[in-house]
Every structure is written in structure tokens, then in C-alpha cells.
A and B are shown apart, each in its own frame.
Chain A
């Protein structure tokens, strides 16, 4: 296995192999990024809530 064409072709099975690896990578990456974003959002919300509860109970949207 040396040339790019051979790697893409994978002995005729490229059309099955590359989507397998591609979709696996995409799904796992999306799961990771969504989880990280959840964590960041929750951290920010909690921090904002902590600040607003320590202040006077002024109407403050988080």
C-alpha cells in the first residue's frame, strides 16, 4: 500500500471502509464537543447565579 489511490481504493473496499472510519470519527467528535460545551455553559450559568444571589435580589437574567 503506497500510492494515495491505493489507500483510497483499499482493494476495492474503500467505499465501505472510509465511511466507517469517517462516521465513527464524526460521531465521537460531536459527542465530545457537545459534552464540553454543556460543561462550559453550566459552569458559566452557575457562576452568574452565584454572583446574582450574592448581590441584592435585583432582577438579573442569566
Chain B
């Protein structure tokens, strides 16, 4: 089943069909999420309107970890089974994941100032998220650092897999260490503990971020596959002349 989609030519055909669906889903889900999050949902009884930052902060942080986990799976598949499309997917995911990580840190900082009284604190959750950003940036630098793309891919795949240890550390950091950051209130044992009026915009925005990721991922994978074709065509041209 996976092999059927791992063929780049077939993938390109499927991608061009799926891409507009992802684009429209992002616009519609994002529009609904923004309306509910900014205008329709109630202010928090403790945090007031500042709670509205949650609707971009939490989905960005979820996506930051989701993208990294996807990259780790793709890197493992690329290393073990040598699927060229897996390596391409990992490389295409990295900049999107880095954007989400930056956004979670940035919006978290803007939420922290009014609620905690500080833009930044060196506690486990914030620091491990910053480490995640550096892992993304390190991967992007490494994968592009070699003239021979296969060497860059191999080295950077190993970096992603070693760095994956950081993902459970981020997730459980709020339970393992003392922190200003609140513990999980959606993804936890016993179900979410936030009201439906706030859960809906949160889930809509999370879905919109997910479809955005898939949309941009497809664009980047297509660009990457064509980039590989360009490299091969240029090599052929050099051999001819």
C-alpha cells in the first residue's frame, strides 16, 4: 500500500488532486476557527480575553511536535528502506515545523507577559521548545550542507532521530518539573477539561493548521522532486558537452 504512494510520479499526480482540497479546508476551517476564537467564544474567568492567544499558541505547539514526529518517522523510513520520497518528505517538513515552533514560542511569550509577568522563563517546557527550534534549524543547515545530497540526507536523518528524544521531554516537562506553564488540559487521561465553547475553536484551528501543513508540504515535496529532476538533467547536460 505504502509502496504505491512512494512512487514519485504517482505521488505528483495524487498531490495535484489533493492540494486544492487542503487549501480550501485550511481557509474554511481557519475562518470558522478565527471567528469562534476571536469573537464568539467567551473570555476566561481568570485570564480574561488573553485566553484567545490559546487558539493560535496551542495548535502551533501541537504542530511543532507533530511535524517533528513526522520528520522522525520519514527519516527512519528513509534510512531503513531507502525510500527517496521519505527523505524528500522529511526535508520538506522541516521549514514548516520550524515556523510552527517559532510561532508557539512567540505567541507563548505574548501570553506569558500579561499572565506570568514575564516574556520568558528558563523552565523545562520553554527551554525544551527552544531546543526543538534549534533541532529544526540544525537539520535544515545539515541537510543542505553537502554537495552530495545523499550524504546530507543521511547525516541529517540521524540528527532528527537522535533529537526525537526531545519530543516526550516537551510533552511531559510540565509534569516532571516545576514550571509556570500550565499542564495539559486537552490531551490527557480522562478527556479534555476545558469547556466546549473554547474546545471547538481550539480544535478547528488545530485542524486548519494540520491542513495548512499538508497543503504546504505537498507544494514543497513537488518542488523538491522537480529539483531532483533538475539536478539529474544538469548532470546529463554536463556529460553531453
- Seen from chain A, the residues whose Cβ lies within 8 Å of a Cβ on chain B are 1, 7, 10-13, 16-17, 19-21, 23-24, 27-28, 31-32, 35-36, 38-39, 42-43, 45-46, 49-50, 52-53, 57
Contact = CB atoms under 8 A, between A and B. Distances in A.
Given A28-B212, A32-B216, A42 B49 contact: no
Contacts of A38: 219-220, 223
A35 B227 contact: no
A10 B226 contact: no
Nearest to B102: A27
Contacts of B234: 49
B241 A19 contact: no
A10 B220 CA distance: 37
Interface string B89-113: 0000001100100110011001101
B237 interface: yes
Most A C-beta atoms less than 10 A away, residue of B114, B219, B220, B229: B219
B236 interface: yes
Nearest to B237: A53
Interface in B84-137: 95-96, 99, 102-103, 106-107, 110-111, 113-114
B103 A27 contact: yes
Given A24-B56, A42-B227, A49-B230, A31 B95 contact: yes
Contacts, number: 94
Most A C-beta atoms less than 10 A away, residue of B43, B48, B95, B107: B107
B233 A42 contact: no
Given A42-B230, A49-B237, A24 B220 contact: no
A23 B18 CA distance: 28
A2 B216 CA distance: 36
Contacts of A46: 226, 229-230, 233
B201 to A, nearest CB: 12
Most B C-beta atoms less than 10 A away, residue of A7, A13, A39: A13
B206 interface: no
Given A31-B99, A49-B234, A53-B240, A20 B212 contact: no
A50 to B, nearest CB: 7
Nearest to A16: B110
Given A23-B107, A39-B222, 13 more contacts: A10-B52, A11-B43, A12-B48, A16-B50, A16-B114, A27-B103, A31-B99, A32-B216, A35-B219, A42-B227, A45-B230, A46-B229, A57-B237
